[in-house]
Amino acid sequence: MEIEHTQGRFSMKTEHGEAELLYKIDGKTMSIYHTLVPEEDRGKGLAEKLAYAAFSLAREKGLKVRPDCSYITHFLEVNSEMKKYAL
């Protein structure tokens, strides 16, 4: 599945709908405020792929990520190497 990126949104089409991650950039901060994966696709690592894509963009632009979404808070707990990019 290919990740698509438009301003403020990363998404992936699945056979059950669309997985998405929404963010806002304010100055040097990227707020990730929403992550959603269709129920039938949960547990397949799709949210993690979207999160890595968002953190990659933040790194490229020199931004710090503010985890305003419960999934991103969990993502940072599991992927401690990404904490250096978060507030």
Interval 34-52: pLDDT, tens: 999 999 999 999 999 999 9
Tell me which residues of the chain have a pLDDT lower than 70: none
pLDDT of residue 1: 83
Predicted TM-score (pTM) above 0.75: yes
Q: How far is CA 33 from the centre of its chain?
A: 9
Of 52, 47, 13, 8, the residue nearest 31 (C-alpha): 8
CATH label of the domain that carries residue 46: 3.40.630.30
Domain containing 10: what range? 4-85
Number of domains in the chain: 1
Of 44, 23, 52, the residue nearest 35 (C-alpha): 23
